[in-house]
Amino acid sequence: MKSILLLIVTVLFWALNFYFGKIMMEYVSPNVAAFWRYFIGVLALLVMSFSSLPPWKIIKENLFGILLVGFVGLFGFVYLFFQGLNLTSEMNGALIVSLNPAMTLLLAVCLQGYKANSRQVIGILFAFVGIVYLLTKGDLQSILDIDINKGDLILITGTSLFALQNIWIKKYSANLGNLSFTSLTNLCCLVGFMLLMPFETAFPIASLPSRFWIAAFGMGIPGTALAYYFWNYALNDIGAARGAVFLNAIPMFTALFAVFFGASIFPYHFYSALLIIGGLLLVQKN
């Protein structure tokens, strides 16, 4: 039950990231926004894990897994997500990212020998249909208007990397502890974005308004440090296949936050929520 609650809190934080990210990118590019997100997030994680970080000998023994998850799974996904989104529509992007639970389940079956039951497959399908219904605002026929382009292929690659990361977490974090592993892999992601900074247009930090920094700390601490810590803990506990399906709740929570911030609510919000929640419940049944 604890892991389920942590997953729910995590997707709530990641849903809020859409709003925080939108604010940050009013002032800076996606790569700069990501740099500040992970800079703040990694600082918070290092403060949290400072007394429990393992000695260099243990880190060195587990360096391959840290680099694989940090650079390939985490940095690779975030970078490709923004690059792909620049070349395709938000609708295409949201739908492709929503395929992550199905990709994770398939990889768990192929790479880990995980035995999926029919309820899990049906649950993932239910949740995905709920997302499609939400994103199309109840007009499922509009899905036929989607065109596959270069941006979609980039997003599919990025989403596949995140699915692989879900599989790798349990395998490579066992010898380090969840907090240390989360700190070190997020540090790798930060280094990735640091390497991109020389290619970005220079901007004066002092000119960024308080609104930007509030959003940056919102993405950095709850949306990165706490979210990845909770996510890694839960996936270690209940497994990637059961945990990844909670990603399908992000569009639902994003829509709920939109209502909270003043948007109108329509019947398709209610019906899509029922499908998504029903799918989550089915996947959690053994």
What are 212's two structure tokens? 């930007």
Q: Which amino acid is at 105?
A: L
Per-chain mean pLDDT for the chain: 87
Using pLDDT thresholds of 50, 70 and 90, give the confidence band for residue 75.
Answer: very high
Alpha helices in 136-149 (DSSP H): none
Give the separation between CA 192 and CA 75, rounded to whole angstroms.
Answer: 6
Instruction: Specify the pLDDT at position 80.
Output: 93
Look-up of token digits 């940095």: 75
Q: Which of 264, 226, 282, 239 is nearest to 37 (CA)?
A: 226
SS3 286: coil
Alpha helices in 113-249 (DSSP H): 118-135, 150-173, 178-196, 210-220, 227-238, 240-244
What are 11's two structure tokens? 């997707």
Instruction: Determine whether 39 is exposed, middle or buried from the number of CB atoms within 10 Å of its CB (0-12, 13-18, 19+).
Output: middle
- Would you list the domain boundaries of the chain? 2-284
Using pLDDT thresholds of 50, 70 and 90, give the confidence band for residue 263.
Answer: low
Q: How do residues 175-230 score in pLDDT, each as one tens digit?
A: 898 999 999 999 999 999 999 999 988 777 888 999 999 999 999 999 999 999 99
Mean pLDDT to the nearest integer, 110-118: 81
201 secondary structure, DSSP code:
P
Instruction: Specify the pLDDT at position 83.
Output: 87
Instruction: Specify the pLDDT at position 133.
Output: 80
Instruction: Specify the pLDDT at position 192.
Output: 97
Question: Kindly report the CA angle at 112 between 109 and 118, in degrees rounded to 5?
Answer: 30
What are 106's two structure tokens? 């398939």
Using pLDDT thresholds of 50, 70 and 90, give the confidence band for residue 240.
Answer: confident
Cβ neighbours, 10 Å, residue 252: 22
Please determine, for residue 286, whether its predicted confidence score (pLDDT) is greater than 60.
no
Asked whether the whole model's pTM tops 0.85, one would answer: yes
248, 127 contact by CB (below 8 A): yes
- Report in angstroms the alpha-carbon separations of 139 from 68, 160, 195, 273, 279: 40, 28, 43, 15, 20
End-to-end CA distance of the chain: 14
Which of 23-27, 57-61, 143-147, 273-277 has the weakest average pLDDT? 143-147
